């Protein structure tokens, strides 16, 4: 691992932030021959991206970076609440550099827990663009978020499992599977970037080596992965998860599932779709009551780089943190 690099300062004006970022990206470009990520050259055709949960936080910063990229983009800003999504679109469009006038940001209503909303989001992208070049699965819930489900001051652990796994793991999986036909229409080559977390590191399964082997098996099938996560929920709800060696973190298990899903799908779509996961680092957002030590825009840099790297740097099935591949 290399020493942590510079990132844009907390609240500077956009032009200053961009300057810092370009400096930072310059460093990444310079290092590309040593295994870091490198940027793609601009194409005349706008690229098409969908970023789930991008009305705020890290997702919103990913949209901001894409929108201010050299390349023109059509960005579907996923938001489960349409008015919050539209507000974010308005704010981000105001910040667009003059040279990015051909880039557009469109609010795309998308709720991970609602299959109808997922199907409608696909229809919207299909009708407007006919393909998807980049899917960034960013949306997630975490029970550290004081705004989550409003007034409930503390949700018992047994009640956190179903909604956490259903939203973060199964919702993300369903969005991905629904968007696959559109991704397969892309010649970019298409990419899926799954936002994971250090909370989903394999070490959380340290009390059960069989689980480690099951989640990391090179032969793991999607139905088996789904069953493992359903088993976790059942065991938490039955109050037996700890005795079976599961960890005390529903969020962590949902993110571990995302990393396993990334590796499994990368294996199944090898050579055709770039599928990677990213730990964005501990960023100050609503998810942690703004206690994170990094600005949200820092967490957006690696997803942005993965969305824009050149085809000759095709990379898949990897897990990244701050522009470097890391062990799960
Ligand atoms: N912040 C960190 O330190 C950190 C660390 C590691 C990983 N991450 C990951 O980074 C990603 C972004 O998190 P963040 O920190 O930016 O959190 P955030 O500010 O709370 O943003 C989360 C986004 O997900 C959306 N969302 C929640 N439930 C959803 C659902 N059912 N359907 C669709 N969208 C939904 C939220 O929408 P609403 O506005 O409607 O709630 C919001 O747009 C997440 O995957 C998170 O787990 C964050």
Q: How far is the CA of 43 from the centre of ligand 1 (A)?
A: 30
Residue-wise pLDDT for 86-137, tens only, equals: 999 999 999 887 777 789 999 999 999 999 999 999 999 999 999 999 999 9
Atom of ligand 1 at shortest range from CA of 110: 33
Q: Distance between CA atoms of 186 and 259, rounded to whole angstroms? A: 24
Tens digit of each residue's pLDDT (9 = 90 or more) over 22-68 = 444 433 443 344 345 655 666 778 999 999 999 999 999 999 999 99
The CATH class of 14-201+252-325 is alpha beta
Question: CA nearest 183: which of 265, 85, 92?
Answer: 265
Query: Which residue ranges have their beta carbon within 6 Å of ligand 1?
Result: 52-53, 55-59, 80-81, 84, 110-113, 138-142, 145, 167, 171, 195, 197, 280, 282-283, 285-288, 292, 296
Mean pLDDT taken over the chain: 88
Confidence of residue 13 (pLDDT cuts 50, 70, 90): very low
Alpha-carbon distance 183 to 123, whole Å? 13
* Residue 267 DSSP SS3: helix
User: Could you give the CA distance from residue 36 to residue 54 in angstroms, rounded to a whole number?
Assistant: 26
Say how many Å lie between the CA of residue 211 and the centre of ligand 1. Answer: 27
| Residue 79 near residue 88, CB atoms below 8 Å | yes
| Model pLDDT, residue 147 | 61
Instruction: Compute, in angstroms, the gap from residue 300 CA to the centroid of ligand 1.
Output: 12
Domain residue spans in the chain? 14-201+252-325
Compute the distance between CA of residue 67 and CA of residue 51 in angstroms, rounded to an integer: 12
Atom of ligand 1 nearest to the CA of 137: 45
Give strand pairing partners of 134: 49, 191
The predicted-structure confidence for 267-293, as pLDDT tens digits, reads as follows 999 989 999 999 999 999 999 889 899
The residue whose CA has the least distance to atom 21 of ligand 1 is 57
pLDDT above 70 as % of the chain: 84
Asked whether the predicted pLDDT for residue 178 surpasses 90, the reply is yes
Side-by-side strand order, sheet with 47-51: 104-109, 73-79, 47-51, 134-137, 191-195, 274-279, 319-321, 324-325
Q: Sign (positive/negative) of CA torsion 314, 318, 321, 324?
A: negative
Q: Give the pLDDT mean for 5-13.
A: 36
Taking the CA of residue 198 as reference, the ligand 1 atom at the shortest distance is: 6
Specify whether 251 is catalytic.
yes
* Whether pLDDT at 219 is above 90: yes
Q: Where are the alpha helices (DSSP H) in 31-95?
A: 57-67, 82-94
Catalytic residue among 7, 149, 188, 251: 251
């Amino acid at each position: 691992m290399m020493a942590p690099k510079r990132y844009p300062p907390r609240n500077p004006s956009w032009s200053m932030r961009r300057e810092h970022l370009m400096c930072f990206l310059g460093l990444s470009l310079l290092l590309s021959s040593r295994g870091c990520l490198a940027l793609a050259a601009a194409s005349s055709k706008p690229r098409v991206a969908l970023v789930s949960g991008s009305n705020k936080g890290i997702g919103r910063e990913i949209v901001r970076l894409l929108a201010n990229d050299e390349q023109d983009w059509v960005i579907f800003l996923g938001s489960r609440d349409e008015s919050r999504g539209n507000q974010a679109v308005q704010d981000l469009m105001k910040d667009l550099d003059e040279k990015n006038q051909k880039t557009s940001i469109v609010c795309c209503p998308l709720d991970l827990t609602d299959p109808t909303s997922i199907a409608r989001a696909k229809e919207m992208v299909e009708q407007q663009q006919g393909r998807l070049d980049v899917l960034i699965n960013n949306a997630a819930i975490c029970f550290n978020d004081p705004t989550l489900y409003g007034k409930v001051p503390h949700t018992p652990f047994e009640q956190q499992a179903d909604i956490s796994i259903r939203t973060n793991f199964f919702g993300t999986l369903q969005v991905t599977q629904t968007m696959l036909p559109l991704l397969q229409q892309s010649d970019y080559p298409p990419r899926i970037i799954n936002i994971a977390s250090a909370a989903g590191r394999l070490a959380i399964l340290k009390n059960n080596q069989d689980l480690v082997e099951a989640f990391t098996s090179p032969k793991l099938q999607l139905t088996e992965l789904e069953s493992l996560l359903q088993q976790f929920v059942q065991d938490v709800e039955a109050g037996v998860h700890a005795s079976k060696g599961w960890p005390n973190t529903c969020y962590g298990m949902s993110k571990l599932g995302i990393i396993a899903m990334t590796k499994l799908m990368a294996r199944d779509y090898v050579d055709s779709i770039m599928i990677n996961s990213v730990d964005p680092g501990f960023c100050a957002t609503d998810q942690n009551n703004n206690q994170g030590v990094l600005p949200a825009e820092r967490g957006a840099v690696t997803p942005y780089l993965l969305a824009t790297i050149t085809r000759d740097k095709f990379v898949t099935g990897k897990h990244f943190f701050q522009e470097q591949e890391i062990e799960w």
